Amino acid sequence: MAVVEVKGLKKHFGNVKAVNGVDLSIQKGELLVILGPSGCGKTTLMRMIAGLERPTAGDILIGDQVVTHLPPRARKIAMVFQSYALYPHMSIFDNIAFPLKARREPKDAIRQKVEWASSILGIQHLLDRKPRQLSGGERQRVALARALVKEPDVMLLDEPLSNLDAKLRASARDELQRFQRQLGITTIFVTHDQIEAMGLGDRIAVMYAGQVRQIGTPQEIYHEPADTFVATFLGSPPMNLFERNDCLVGFRPENFLPPGVLQPEDKVTAFPFHVGRVEYLGSDRLIYGTIEGAAEQNKTISKLPSTITVDIEPDKVYEFVVQAKDLKFFDKNTGKRIEPQPLD
């Protein structure tokens, strides 16, 4: 059952088409990640779902009810945004209890819910403190607890981990996923970080310039990109792309391999790879070069795990290979994915 549905949603600010025709259907209990570069319309889309922004066109349904023109409080949602403002003069308990007090819930029920949410997030021991006595990660969890006590049907999280350092971010991601699964709350999570998106999402919607370019599982988005934007936005380094026979050919750096690595029976295409530079990164080796015979200026990268130890030297040409299944083809003009083409 779809809990949240977005149909033909648009938001234009004068000439700026911040969101320009988005359709989404989010299933019960699903964690959908909205991934895209800065300015692609992620926050505007979330603000419309939350009821903080009036759409220019289109509809939003939550639990089969059209809520497009309802105020935020009439939608059973909770939000945690990047700047998860806690009230500095209130204790952590009061911060978490705030939405329940605003709803005038009975005192006992409030205490019970605050204790429940803080135990899920492991912050029971902090309830008497003030926000300034907490670390960034702890404050983050308080903001999530404040969202949880509302027992929302849908949780909207807009870059909620972006204020944390890299290590804390990884553990917060882990925690978030655990409690989201445990409680089965339908969640929409916005980020511009592909690692966060791949690690968290049941599905990912990749946005660019106000539109969803592709929606699918992390595996689908990574291995079967719908267009060149998705192909190059995900992956580090991104997919190699070059022009051949009037179309664009793409393959991932980790699928571009030196001779002798694949089994002889694997169906492969070989490319003469002129090696420019080799970079050792510990677990991986990155090899930068160009494919001879392809259009000029085609920079190509091979990413080899340290388990592949074959010697590769700069200024030499090697026959690197790609398995047929790993070659992706795109229309040269539209960038859209097309059927595999002959390469000779």
Q: Which is nearer to ligand ATP, 43 or 140 (CB)?
A: 43
**Size of site (CB under 6 A) for ligand ATP:** 12
Q: Which is nearer to ligand ATP, 54 or 181 (CB)?
A: 54
Near ligand ATP by CB under 6 A: residue from 8, 13, 111, 122: 13
Least separation in angstroms between CB 68 and ligand ATP? 18
Which one of 10-18, 118-126, 173-181, 255-263 is the stretch in contact with ligand ATP (CB under 6 A)?
Answer: 10-18
Q: Which is nearer to ligand ATP, 40 or 321 (CB)?
A: 40
Task: Scan residues 98-137 and list those touching ligand ATP (CB under 6 A).
Answer: none
Joined together, the tokens standing for residue 194 give 């592909």
Q: Which is nearer to ligand ATP, 38 or 309 (CB)?
A: 38
Least separation in angstroms between CB 43 and ligand ATP? 3
Q: Which is nearer to ligand ATP, 138 or 159 (CB)?
A: 159
Angle at 252 between CA 279 and CA 209, to 5 degrees: 110
Q: Which is nearer to ligand ATP, 43 or 302 (CB)?
A: 43
Binding mask 269-298 for ligand ATP (x = CB under 6 A): ------------------------------
SS3 letters across the chain:
CEEEEEEEEEEEECCEEEEEEEEEEEECCCEEEEECCCCCCHHHHHHHHHCCCCCCEEEEEECCEECCCCCHHHCCEEEECCCCCCCCCCCHHHHHHHHHHHCCCCHHHHHHHHHHHHHHCCCHHHCCCCHHHCCHHHHHHHHHHHHHCCCCCEEEEECCCCCCCHHHHHHHHHHHHHHHHHHCCEEEEEECCHHHHHHHCCEEEEEECCEEEEEECHHHHHHCCCEHHHHHHCCCCCCEEEEECCEEEEECHHHCECCCCCCCCCCEEEEEEEEEEEEECCCEEEEEEEECCCCCCCEEEEEEECCCCCCCCCCCEEEEEEEHHHCEEEECCCCEEECCCCCC
Least separation in angstroms between CB 45 and ligand ATP? 7
192 binds ligand ATP (CB under 6 A): yes
Least separation in angstroms between CB 21 and ligand ATP? 14
Q: Count the Cβ atoms, other than its own, within 10 Å of residue 152.
A: 18
Least separation in angstroms between CB 19 and ligand ATP? 7
Task: Scan residues 19-48 and list those touching ligand ATP (CB under 6 A).
Answer: 36, 38-44
Least separation in angstroms between CB 13 and ligand ATP? 3
Nearest to 193 by CA among 157, 234, 138: 234
Binding mask 208-247 for ligand ATP (x = CB under 6 A): ----------------------------------------
Q: Which is nearer to ligand ATP, 229 or 256 (CB)?
A: 229
Residue 302 pairs in a beta bridge with 287
Least separation in angstroms between CB 201 and ligand ATP? 16
Q: Which is nearer to ligand ATP, 57 or 286 (CB)?
A: 57
Query: What is d(CA 129, CA 339) in angstroms, rounded to the nearest whole number?
Result: 60
Joined together, the tokens standing for residue 296 give 């000029």
Least separation in angstroms between CB 153 and ligand ATP? 23
Query: What is d(CA 77, CA 82) in angstroms, rounded to the nearest whole number?
Result: 17
Q: Are 209 and 10 in contact (CB under 8 A)?
A: no
Q: Which is nearer to ligand ATP, 208 or 320 (CB)?
A: 208
Q: Site residues (CB under 6 A) for ligand ATP?
A: 13, 16, 18, 36, 38-44, 192
